[in-house]
Amino acid sequence: MTKIGDNNSYGLTTKLLYSDIDLSDDWSVSPPIHQSVNAVAADAEEFADISSVPLGDKFYARHGNPTTSRLAKVISSLEGGESGIIFSSGMGAITTTLLSFLKAGDHVVAQTNHYMGTTEMVTHVLPKYGIETTKVDQRDALAFERAVKPNTRLILTETPVNPSMHITDLNFVSELAKSKGIITFCDNTFATPINQKPLEFGVDIVMHSATKYIGGHHDLLAGSITASQTIVEQIWDMNMNVGAIPSPFNSWLALRGIRTLELRVLQQNRNAQAIAELLEESSKVNQVYYPGLKSHPQHGLAQKQMSGFGGLLTFDLKGGYDAGVKFIESLKLARNAGSLGGVYSVIIQPASMFAGRLTKELLEEQGITSGLIRFAAGIENTTDILNDIEQALEQI
């Protein structure tokens, strides 16, 4: 059996293919789906053992599952983390982590811009339980320092963030937090571990909505956390009560999807860069937001902490909302759909998608203008995507 262990000399795709091989317990090349909810113990001693071990995947499916463990191992190996745990969704990962480390009277520093669900958690849910949050402009590293209070327990980061594509200085925030005994959390969904590894910059907890790039095929919901063994065991312990457990089939789908993560993300990086450059030249476009563009105000920081700039970009059409409707209608390839990171390009008007969920104030706070378009590149051939966008721009 091949065991590649923690050998860092392997390339990313080799790690994606082999880092869970030592968890294989049968003859199959493709991992089986362990559907059984419980496992049989040989005797009383083994029963005591399997029922009490943290992250144990051979007792009861709420504690763990062998298929799910393999997915956690592959993600941890890629992120360079000691341990990992998988959830039923990205929000399951976020909520369970917050519940694991926060109590009434604690304070959180978060960003003005986050994924909508994270924003709702810190704005509306945590205050109900006596947990206060200060939101800061993530572009201003010193703002994190100014926001810290004696009772700050956690700093929440997400970079790059959607739809503004702002970047957080992970090294600065981690050093600040470490000097004050504060835990740092990074939502690394949009960058993916192919382009950015927050643990290398000192972040404590890395999270993914595995629904996006990790799954990669628009067909599953899952979330992941990678961190030290101690932190992961604490989160696992909380999830025993929360129960945000992925189905074995979704773990298997994500495991199947993640094998090609590097191949997909490199093509998505290429597509997004080419699209951003094309749009920047267009007379129909006010502004393009993509960390890979030299015109991005934080391009230097992005180059420092990212090895690629990701598949996601936003841009502001001069014609506003109606031009956005016409543009999207005219595209032949990208689909008008929300969840991104899979093989297909997807496009949305944030002003339309978030209108029902975010208040007018929160929309403004997030920089969502009427002409804003979010384009998440898929793995289509670059020329085809560019030609499609060019012809759609001509229609508006």
Ligand X SMILES: Cc1ncc(COP(=O)(O)O)c(C=O)c1O
Give me the residues that bind ligand X (CB under 6 A), please: 89-91, 115, 117, 158, 187, 189-190, 209, 211, 221, 223
The count of other CB atoms within 10 Å of the CB of residue 283 is 6
Annotated catalytic, 321?
no
Q: Closer to ligand X at the Cβ: 65 or 118?
A: 118
Give me the amino acid identity at 313.
Answer: L
* Inter-CA distances, 177 with 94, 95, 149, 205, Å: 19, 21, 11, 12
**Shortest distance in whole angstroms from residue 187 CB to ligand X:** 5
Kindly name the residue from 10, 22, 62, 321 that is annotated as catalytic. Answer: 62
User: What is the 8-class DSSP label of residue 313?
Assistant: E
**Shortest distance in whole angstroms from residue 340 CB to ligand X:** 7
- Yes or no: say if 286 and 268 are a contact pair by the CB < 8 Å rule: no
- Yes or no: say if 318 and 286 are a contact pair by the CB < 8 Å rule: yes
Annotated catalytic, 212?
yes
**Shortest distance in whole angstroms from residue 255 CB to ligand X:** 16
**Shortest distance in whole angstroms from residue 332 CB to ligand X:** 25
Give SS3 for 109: strand
**Shortest distance in whole angstroms from residue 350 CB to ligand X:** 12
Q: Closer to ligand X at the Cβ: 90 or 148?
A: 90
Q: How many residues does the chain have?
A: 396
Among 235, 238, 157, CA closest to 203: 157
Residue 112: which H helix or E strand, with range? none
CA 295/CA 155 separation, integer angstroms:
28
In 3-state terms, the chain is what percent helix, strand and coil (to 5)? 45, 15, 40
CA 289/CA 260 separation, integer angstroms:
27
**Shortest distance in whole angstroms from residue 158 CB to ligand X:** 6
Q: Closer to ligand X at the Cβ: 77 or 189?
A: 189
Question: Residue number with the shortest CB distance to ligand X?
Answer: 90
**Shortest distance in whole angstroms from residue 90 CB to ligand X:** 2
Residue 4, class by beta-carbon neighbours within 10 Å (0-12 exposed, 13-18 middle, 19+ buried)?
A: middle
Kindly name the residue from 20, 106, 169, 187 that is annotated as catalytic. Answer: 187
Kindly name the residue from 15, 70, 73, 212 that is annotated as catalytic. Answer: 212
User: What is the 8-class DSSP label of residue 314?
Assistant: E
Q: Closer to ligand X at the Cβ: 187 or 388?
A: 187
Q: Closer to ligand X at the Cβ: 206 or 385?
A: 206
Token code pair at residue 164: 């503004």
Write the CB contacts of 361 (distance below 8 Å, at least 6 apart in sequence): none
Write phi, then psi, for 24 (nearest 5 degrees): -70, 130
Q: Closer to ligand X at the Cβ: 221 or 331?
A: 221
- Yes or no: say if 128 and 173 are a contact pair by the CB < 8 Å rule: no
Annotated catalytic, 49?
no
Kindly name the residue from 18, 115, 289, 290 that is annotated as catalytic. Answer: 115
Q: Closer to ligand X at the Cβ: 76 or 89?
A: 89
CA 55/CA 235 separation, integer angstroms:
10
Active site residues: 62, 115, 187, 212
